[in-house]
Structure 1
């Protein structure tokens, strides 16, 4: 059965939620930061206690966020104007004797600008067992990560490929004029439609596999949280399994997104890739790009998982006990496939693509496995800007440019004691904002950057440094230019 989250039902729910304050701020106000954090860790008791004296809002918190059974009269008071029979008939609620429980996960979710509600299926803990094959995942770590990694500059048209419960499209509503969302799953589209109606967000929904419903169309931006789990070609759960072998799902999206981008359009997605014995992961993912170029690409690797840990994590995510018969059978087949394909690890990260007509697109693959606080979205947009600036400025232009070092960039030195005092063994340029890039430098490069104060062009700085250190100016220029380009690309040196 596919629920019908009609305009009438979602409108009544919206009115009730607004009336009782069931939104992100309201929930936090009742629970307080400690109980709210405990709930996020899967520890509900503190939240249950905090909600006891919160009236109708407390009822909705226990009903939808804690999975408790609530008295029908209390639910009716908390959802004034809502036809409970219609809510039960369309899975929003379900009967439990004389009480009611949530049939769907309907929860507040917000950003810095406000709060939404997201409709999804109950997870394995809420269900008390494994999820079904057509399970529609709610707001999870992957969807939040993609939202934080996505550029939010205004665009005319945006595609949310594989929308699921609609999280990425909600974020897109802040900066996109028109939004199209697709999914293969009929159930996912039904729940996404409920999400959009609850929030009064206008989204065009299309059903179909991958890009099939979008022939002949192009978008200013594409976002995608695909079923990127890697392994044998099977579909246990549609939200994570593509039916394609290995990392072919990620490869398919990277390969095909550019054809659906307008000139200058940007595609951003989560992806996974195999680390195979004797193969560089950067070579693997770069080979996914369309032949003939025309695409700037930035692959950022956030983590590499051990195969055994990877398998156990995804089994538990679906509510399958790795120690049970089903879990052991699935884990065995999965690990056998990894062994047969020489897989030593599974990489995970973000991909940013831009369609361009240049003959020399920029393709960069780099690790970003250290912790950082700032969202990657603004950085991905700035990275594309810096790549475009570098493309438009040849070496002669760079030499004529006055550069500065941003105040967020620091030079760190590690020294060791010697007979004459301390001697620097490591000089590291560290950007303290954004993703926290780091570059190791030699003494000559550090001296060059010390002169980047916006007063002199790079050519003059190199000439002065060559004279002061008795170095060949041409050789120093040849060595300095690629370093400066790399630092510009990472926002550690900027045109004045």
Structure 2
């Protein structure tokens, strides 16, 4: 279905949405917390009961959040001053006899200090039965896009580039921290819906037509965000929001390799990505090889690994294809055959943080597994990780590192695990655990635990090591050699920190 979302129609729609209080808070107040939570779980009945009383807000909720047809007269009242005929002509609504239903998904999205509206195509919960997902389908705000928002630092920047903006949600969030926002998109339909999103929210975004980084060749940005079409498998494009037309994980590889080329010095990039796990190949080596330029810091965080069978089934259902159907079985065979032919044992998924170093200094690439659950946003940790990386890079030798005064992070705890034998309880694990951020954990020994306990900012690490060596009768030189890589890793993960940082923050 074509959309004709002119500025005049969108401005009138905005008036209607504001008048009805069709906002994140307004919807929660109407539905109540329990019905709102049920709707988030895909259980519409409580929300239907809560919107039984006629009114503009109830009508809008039924149309756009529940996918229910409503009487044309009720829709006319809810959308005033946008005439019903104009809403149908724009593609916002679809006429159905004496009723109308939603033609687009228009829903409130909570912002830091208020609410935005996001325009996209109808999702599975609101799409009428039998209406297929088209190849140019534009996704709304899903778990992946929200996870990228949380994985992106929210510090103020001058310019942000959103590559492949889709419905525009990353650019919306960027507008809250950036002086200038540019968004690129190869899909004409996605560009139209993203521009509608920006117009509804009175957000200024430069929207450019083109694929990948072509529209911004020769330009530089302080921050780049990208939720690319990262689904891996045969080279095909069934749906533009997820399929790149490139085989395997080449879409993620292309973004990682080309993104640093549009970063200003010190600028950062943040993206979702997928990578293949193949027989006889370490995934960290694979993704590290994607980087072309030496002056780039890269942090690859693997959040999940799916086996090929689970991966195929998940993405078939995402497209509304029943894996048991003839089409589903044929697609499964093609996909699984491709995985088998290419030695694929699994598909990794996670976040990538990139930074153009200052002064052309050589960068560092770190790949880490973070498959355990944690609640804190990764964006703040990404900024802190880069800051700690700089501090360590300025202290390349053991003497420089161990001559520094360090302090244990306030959130650090020590866990001791004991087993019972004939002599009683015997400790066999000492585990340092940072209880905030990604919840880093490091196993250590008694000396390591005592070293961290001594990191109170009063003495440099080398003096602490001398005291420990004397107290335990250990070889001082050997203790220093073994302590340096441990302390570097603890600093990298924010478990011990430079004392001067704490002093500067007082």
Question: For residue 430 of structure 1, what is the aligned residue in structure 2?
Answer: 433
Choose from 453, 466, 471 the match for 2:469: 466
Would you say the 8 A contact 1:88–1:94 is kept in 2?
Answer: yes
Mapping of residues 29-428 of structure 1, within 5 Å: 29-53=29-53, 55-127=55-127, 128=129, 129-290=131-292, 292-356=293-357, 357-394=359-396, 395-428=398-431
Q: With structure 2 as the length reference, what TM-score do the two structures score?
A: 0.96
**For the residues of structure 1 that align with 2:163 and 2:203, how far apart are their CA atoms?**
17
Higher mean C-alpha displacement, 174-183 vs 122-131: 122-131
Would you say the 8 A contact 2:133–2:320 is kept in 1?
Answer: yes
**For the residues of structure 1 that align with 2:262 and 2:361, how far apart are their CA atoms?**
19
SS in 1 for 2:459: strand
**For the residues of structure 1 that align with 2:114 and 2:489, how far apart are their CA atoms?**
38
SS in 1 for 2:25: helix
Deviation string 1:293-321 (CA, Å, 9 cap, x unpaired) is 11100000000011111111111111111
**For the residues of structure 2 that align with 1:199 and 1:407, how far apart are their CA atoms?**
40
Deviation string 1:229-283 (CA, Å, 9 cap, x unpaired) is 0000000000000000000000000000001100111000000000111111101
Displacement of 1:4 = 2.6
Would you say the 8 A contact 1:273–1:348 is kept in 2?
Answer: yes
**For the residues of structure 1 that align with 2:57 and 2:145, how far apart are their CA atoms?**
27
**For the residues of structure 2 that align with 1:135 and 1:151, how far apart are their CA atoms?**
29
**For the residues of structure 1 that align with 2:68 and 2:422, how far apart are their CA atoms?**
70
**For the residues of structure 2 that align with 1:223 and 1:331, how far apart are their CA atoms?**
32
SS in 1 for 2:82: coil
**For the residues of structure 2 that align with 1:30 and 1:435, how far apart are their CA atoms?**
36
Q: With structure 1 as the length reference, what TM-score do the two structures score?
A: 0.98
**For the residues of structure 2 that align with 1:470 and 1:54, how far apart are their CA atoms?**
81
SS in 2 for 1:22: coil
Would you say the 8 A contact 2:132–2:320 is kept in 1?
Answer: yes
**For the residues of structure 1 that align with 2:220 and 2:440, how far apart are their CA atoms?**
34
Displacement of 1:358 = 4.7
Would you say the 8 A contact 2:68–2:126 is kept in 1?
Answer: no
Question: For residue 11 of structure 1, what is the aligned residue in structure 2?
Answer: 11
Would you say the 8 A contact 1:166–1:195 is kept in 2?
Answer: yes
SS in 2 for 1:259: helix
**How many corresponding residue pairs?**
495
Name structure 1 gaps, 5 residues minimum. none
Choose from 463, 480, 484 the match for 1:481: 484
